[in-house]
Structure 1
Amino acid sequence: MKEKRDDIRLWRDNSLHGGMEILRASCYEHSYPPHFHNEFVIAAFARGAQRTRVCRQKGIAAPGTVMIIMPGEVHTGEAVQRDEGWDYCAFYPSQTLINEVAEALLHGKGDVNFGKEGMRHDPLLARRLLQASAVINQSQDPLEKECVMYQALSSLIGRYGERTVTGSMHALLRADIRKAIDYLQCAYHQPVTVKEIAAVAGLSEFYFMRTFQSMTGLSVHQYLTQIRLVRAKGLLAQGISAAQVASEVGFFDQSHFTKYFRTHFGITPGAFAAASA
């Protein structure tokens, strides 16, 4: 039996700024399929190299790289060389939290963004982020964790952030596609068909599917799966069993839920729940 080398720890710290997900991982075999987050992804790379694609732009994250992915941006990740893999940490702060930290740091109005450059070689900032993730992972003191997180985000925002009124990715979507997404956000827990969703958008089925994938980077099914997994993590962090969560968010059964969860996050729902307790 092949030894599993991946060591992935993903958890939600409910004492950290109202609840934030943190990731510390050493990846070899695992690869992340196309997916998005409702929050920012702030990642720092310590060893090896990750091949990534963010909104169809490809790149390689080496040690000392800081990666910033805006909410809603579809991205992937895999090892450049399986034998080498890559080590990294990631934080998932909300747009609200980023804006609040920026209030004392940046001039201007509107939401904070970080420009079009998703990856920057900044060994000092990468080291600060990696150290912050280590403290948050080990500390039992909520105040210490909040302070180290604030300091890390302040360094990032002060260095690369800017405030603009250009709007989020959701605001840039066509109105009919936004209607479809809003429908999926409400109907995620029940079976749905392309015909039903396309009718909400006011488009023919095949034109809708093509347009949806072109604008979001995901098929309708992939997007719905993402919504279900996001909702599932919130319920698991509240201590609800995986079997009940699978049913509540719309998966056929617990085995399907576990399969998709492991594919997207590299760990089981039970491991996420245990780490978030």
Structure 2
Amino acid sequence: MSNWIDLKQDADTGIESVRAHFVGHAYDPHWHDSFLVGVTEQGVQQFDCRRVRHRSTPGNVFLLEPSEIHNGHAPTEDGFTYSTLYLEPTWVDSQLRALFEHAPGDSLPSFADTLCHDERLARATALAFQAVHTQDLRIVRQTAMDDLLACLTR
């Protein structure tokens, strides 16, 4: 199977959703201006971030903050597939303020872990990705994203 990328952007929120598959070298070190919340669907996704080599397997959630340098590689022959949401910091801030009445002045999250083995978060990530990527009804997308943000802030 060769490399492929399916990229979409939600017209209402600006959230980008990417579903991709890579074999071998996936991408060189780089960063994003947005938060990345993704789930590994298939294979082993290996990447370096925060000076640690991570190996994400199906069901694992990876969390990157804006400007975190990372790379990507598939250490096994079958490659890896993942789904990721790119969340702009301004959108995250406004949504957290809407969800939590007493949000502090700087309500942007900070992720303690880059890689999580949390079934609830994995499910919320997958459902939010599906709702955004398939352009489900606005209320479905909003509910799924609210659930994801609630999981990320617990």
| Structure-2-length-normalised TM-score | 0.84
- Structure 2 residue runs without a partner (length 5+): none
1:102 maps to what in 2?
96
Task: Measure the CA separation in 2 of the matches of 1:20 and 1:159.
Answer: 18
Contact 1:45/1:126 (CA < 8 Å) preserved in 2? no
Contact 1:40/1:95 (CA < 8 Å) preserved in 2? yes
**Partner-residue secondary structure (3-state), 2:108:** strand
| 1:12-40: CA deviation from partner (whole Å, max 9, x where unpaired) | 33x131x2221011222351111111111
Contact 2:24/2:75 (CA < 8 Å) preserved in 1? no
What letter is aligned with 1:136? V
What letter is aligned with 2:5? I
Task: Measure the CA separation in 2 of the matches of 1:147 and 1:30.
Answer: 38
**Partner-residue secondary structure (3-state), 2:111:** coil
> 1:1-277 residue pairs with structure 2 within 5 A?
5-13=2-10, 15-17=11-13, 19-81=14-76, 83-103=77-97, 104-105=99-100, 107-139=103-135, 144=137, 146-161=138-153
Alignment RMSD (CA, Å): 2.2
| 1:157-214: CA deviation from partner (whole Å, max 9, x where unpaired) | 323328xxxxxxxxxxxxxxxxxxxxxxxxxxxxxxxxxxxxxxxxxxxxxxxxxxxx
Considering only CA atoms, is the larger Rg found in Structure 1 or Structure 2?
A: 1
> Aligned pair in 2 of structure 1 residues 30, 55: CA closer, same or farther (>3 Å)?
same
Which stretches of structure 1, 4 residues or more, deviate above 6 A after TM superposition? none
What letter is aligned with 2:20? A
Contact 2:121/2:152 (CA < 8 Å) preserved in 1? no
| 1:29-61: CA deviation from partner (whole Å, max 9, x where unpaired) | 351111111111111112111111113222111
| Structure-1-length-normalised TM-score | 0.49
**Partner-residue secondary structure (3-state), 1:99:** helix
What letter is aligned with 1:94? E
> Aligned pair in 2 of structure 1 residues 74, 149: CA closer, same or farther (>3 Å)?
farther
Between the two structures, name the one with larger relative contact order (CA 8 Å, sep ≥ 6): 2
Give percent identity, aligned residues only. Answer: 25
**Partner-residue secondary structure (3-state), 2:7:** strand
- Structure 1 residue runs without a partner (length 5+): 163-277
| 1:224-268: CA deviation from partner (whole Å, max 9, x where unpaired) | xxxxxxxxxxxxxxxxxxxxxxxxxxxxxxxxxxxxxxxxxxxxx
> Aligned pair in 2 of structure 1 residues 71, 148: CA closer, same or farther (>3 Å)?
farther
